[in-house]
């Protein structure tokens, strides 16, 4: 591994900070989402209801304990920490003229604490937490005014942290919302709900366009503020395999795959891919795409592709399953199980080879550096009476995935900037709202109902990962 390889950990503000209304923070779209459970989706409520439990409100209370947690990250030897800035800490409603100073100060303090400990902040601007007011009053990213609000938020962060943060990403997993059958994706990415009778795909493409323009505007502005910034996009990468060598399966996989590539194609190349233009034409979508937008897209291309990788999936041309709205397979109606691959307790395929395959596909397509900013194993952990967690299953998962990364770098020649496993400290699961689904190398005593001491305990993976970083990936 290159000596500058960024070993780190990844988190997102709303899933671990808590302090949802502290120091002037406004409510965000995720703050009105209840906890789900195994197989039970999270509910999007109209407003905060007193008798309901909202797991993100307190999360793991990092907002009030960040020094203690950063000390643990430093002990682990992290070189970087990927997290996000909660938009509604900075602009509580999203449309104010002036930002909330207390919110800005929190991130100043956090970044100082990280830098003091030799940890480089890697920052996502929007990770599923748009101010609720923008969703309710403006219709989220349906509305072009929200492009300007996002640009203002981005510029405010860039100006304030220009000497503290070098690595940025605009929108987290922007391509999740391609699965329009699952309402949580359009809501959390974009603050959008689809009304009865609307064509969800058409709405999604309009929202996508506005977001892609907002992202490009942020890139353009950021480079003016500090030309040394590295600004990337962030996509969820789920390689889709054909079920067989039947050419029909190959084409089915290809078509499904380019739906996943769509957002990165625009972010990286700066123009719409021909297959998308044909789709807009074929479906008769009436999209507001202006000539000046196309110039912005061309100018605001990204420096690198940030990606999450958790699983692969498989499609079979002659299948039509009732999979709609299923997170595991991106809602693909023609997806089937992979007989060669085991799955986690949540049905996510454990496929390290798929990571190498995916990295190669992305690098072949874009020829710019990749940054693996999420990967990990969501599992149920047991805390022993002596406060230990023996998470060998997690270590095994990570070893295999790091080996795949090494092969991609050393054998295939893929350029990879770093690796930040997801949820380095236990946090609220995004898709289910549970605490039970844990990724961390640090255990947090907190359960699904919000009970627990909030104490932190090192899992076995803590010392294991420390060694990996110390030896720059030599000792796994
Ligand atoms: C990604 C998100 C994260 C996250 C992770 C794991 O989709 O970017 O926010 O939580 O997946 O998902 P989950 O928490 O549902 O297991």
pLDDT at 346: 84
- Mean pLDDT across the stretch 99-128? 98
- Mean pLDDT across the stretch 195-213? 97
- Cβ atoms of 460 and 391 within 8 Å: the answer is yes
* Mean pLDDT, rounded, of the chain: 96
- Cβ atoms of 315 and 256 within 8 Å: the answer is yes
- Cβ atoms of 233 and 208 within 8 Å: the answer is no
Q: Which helix (H) or strand (E) holds 63?
A: helix 62-76
Q: Which helix (H) or strand (E) holds 280?
A: helix 274-283
Cα 326 to ligand 1 centroid, rounded to whole Å: 14
- Mean pLDDT across the stretch 434-459? 97
Determine the longest span between alpha carbons in the chain, in angstroms: 64
Strands (E), 31-144: 80-84, 120-126
Q: Name which residue sits closest to atom 10 of ligand 1, judged by CA.
A: 430
The domain that contains 71 carries what CATH number?
A: 3.20.20.80
| Residue at token pair 């999203």 | 94
Residues 6+ apart with CB under 8 A from 295: none
* Domain, as residue range, for 436: 6-470
pTM of the predicted model, to two decimals? Answer: 0.97
pLDDT at 154: 99
Helix, strand or coil, per DSSP, at residue 247: helix
Q: Report which of 121, 125, 240, 143 is spatially closest to residue 191, judged by C-alpha positions.
A: 143
- Asked if residue 1 belongs to a domain, the reply is no
What phi-psi label fits residue 459: left (phi over 0), alpha (psi between -120 and 50 degrees) or beta? Answer: beta
- Asked if residue 417 belongs to a domain, the reply is yes
Q: Which atom of ligand 1 is nearest to the CA of 234?
A: 8
- Structure tokens that stand for 329 in this block: 């397979």
- Cβ atoms of 324 and 333 within 8 Å: the answer is yes
Could you report the per-residue pLDDT of 418-436, keeping only the tens digit for each? 999 999 999 999 999 999 9
- Cβ atoms of 202 and 283 within 8 Å: the answer is yes
Report how many domains make up the chain.
1
Compute the chain's Rg from CA coordinates. Answer: 21
User: With a 6 A CB cut-off, is 422 part of the ligand 1 pocket?
Assistant: yes
Out of 131-135, 200-204, 237-241, 326-330, pick the least confident: 326-330
- Asked if residue 175 belongs to a domain, the reply is yes
Q: CA-CA distance, 189 to 266, in Å (whole number)?
A: 17
Q: Which atom of ligand 1 is nearest to the CA of 348?
A: 16
- Asked if residue 475 belongs to a domain, the reply is no
pLDDT at 319: 87
Could you report the per-residue pLDDT of 43-81, keeping only the tens digit for each? 999 999 999 999 999 999 999 999 999 999 999 999 999
Among residues 196, 374, 403, 415, the one annotated as catalytic is 374
pLDDT at 321: 75
User: With a 6 A CB cut-off, is 434 part of the ligand 1 pocket?
Assistant: no
Q: 359 pLDDT exceeds 80?
A: yes
| Residue at token pair 């995720």 | 30
- Asked if residue 412 belongs to a domain, the reply is yes
Residues 6+ apart with CB under 8 A from 471: none
- Asked if residue 116 belongs to a domain, the reply is yes
The yes-or-no answer on residue 374 being catalytic is: yes
- One-character DSSP codes across 371-396: EEEE----B-----TTS----HHHHH
- Asked if residue 176 belongs to a domain, the reply is yes
Q: 331 pLDDT exceeds 80?
A: no
- Asked if residue 476 belongs to a domain, the reply is no
Confidence of residue 327 (pLDDT cuts 50, 70, 90): low
Could you report the per-residue pLDDT of 256-297, keeping only the tens digit for each? 999 999 999 999 999 999 999 999 999 999 999 999 999 999
Q: CA-CA distance, 408 to 309, in Å (whole number)?
A: 14
The Cβ of residue 80 has, within 10 Å, a number of other Cβ atoms equal to 25
pLDDT at 37: 77
- The DSSP bridge pattern shows strands 335-336 and 313-315 to be antiparallel
- Mean pLDDT across the stretch 179-195? 95
Please classify residue 274 by burial: count the beta carbons closer than 10 Å to its beta carbon, then call 0-12 exposed, 13-18 middle and 19+ buried: exposed
User: With a 6 A CB cut-off, is 374 part of the ligand 1 pocket?
Assistant: yes
| Residue at token pair 């990337």 | 232
pLDDT at 323: 57
| Residue at token pair 């399953």 | 321
What phi-psi label fits residue 206: left (phi over 0), alpha (psi between -120 and 50 degrees) or beta? Answer: alpha
């Amino acid at each position: 591994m290159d000596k500058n390889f960024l070993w780190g950990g990844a988190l997102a503000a709303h899933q671990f900070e808590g302090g949802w209304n502290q120091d002037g923070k406004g409510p965000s779209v995720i703050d009105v989402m209840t906890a789900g459970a195994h197989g039970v989706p999270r509910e999007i409520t109209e407003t905060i209801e007193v008798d309901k439990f909202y797991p993100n409100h307190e999360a793991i209370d990092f907002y009030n304990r960040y020094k203690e947690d950063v000390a643990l990250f430093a002990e682990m030897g992290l070189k970087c920490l990927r997290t996000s800035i909660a938009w509604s800490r900075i602009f509580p409603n999203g449309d104010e003229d002036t930002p909330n100073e207390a919110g800005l100060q929190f991130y100043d303090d956090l970044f100082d604490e990280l830098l003091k400990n030799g940890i480089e902040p890697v920052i996502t601007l929007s990770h599923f937490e748009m101010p609720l007011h923008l969703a309710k009053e403006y219709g989220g990213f349906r509305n072009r005014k929200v492009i300007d609000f996002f640009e203002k938020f981005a510029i405010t962060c860039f100006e304030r942290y220009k000497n503290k943060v070098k690595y940025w990403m605009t929108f987290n997993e922007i391509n999740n919302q391609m699965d329009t059958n699952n309402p949580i994706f359009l809501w959390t990415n974009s603050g959008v709900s689809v009304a009865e009778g609307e064509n969800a795909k058409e709405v999604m493409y309009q929202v996508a366009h506005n977001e892609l323009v907002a992202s490009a505007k942020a890139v353009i502005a950021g480079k003016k503020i500090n030309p040394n910034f590295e600004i990337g996009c962030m996509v969820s990468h789920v390689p889709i395999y054909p079920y067989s060598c039947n050419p029909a399966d190959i084409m089915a996989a290809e078509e499904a795959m380019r739906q996943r590539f769509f957002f990165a194609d625009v972010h990286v190349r700066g123009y719409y891919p021909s297959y998308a233009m044909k789709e807009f034409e074929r479906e008769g979508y009436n999209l507001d795409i202006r000539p000046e937008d196309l110039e912005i897209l061309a100018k605001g291309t990204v420096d690198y592709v940030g990606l999450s990788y958790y699983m692969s999936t498989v499609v079979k041309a002659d299948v039509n399953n009732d999979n709609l709205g299923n997170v595991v397979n991106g809602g693909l109606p023609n997806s089937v199980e992979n007989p060669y691959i085991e799955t986690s307790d949540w049905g996510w395929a454990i496929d390290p080879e798929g990571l190498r395959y995916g990295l190669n596909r992305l690098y072949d397509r874009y020829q710019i550096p990749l940054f693996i900013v999420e990967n990990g194993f969501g599992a149920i952990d047991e805390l022993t009476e002596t406060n230990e967690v023996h998470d060998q299953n997690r270590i095994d998962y990570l070893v295999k995935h790091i080996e795949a990364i090494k092969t991609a770098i050393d054998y295939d020649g893929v350029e990879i900037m770093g690796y930040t496993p997801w949820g380095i400290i236990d946090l609220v699961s995004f898709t289910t709202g549970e605490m039970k689904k844990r990724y961390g190398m640090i255990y947090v005593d907190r359960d699904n109902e919000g009970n627990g001491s909030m104490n932190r305990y090192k899992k076995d993976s803590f010392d294991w990962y420390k060694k990996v970083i110390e030896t720059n990936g030599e000792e796994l």
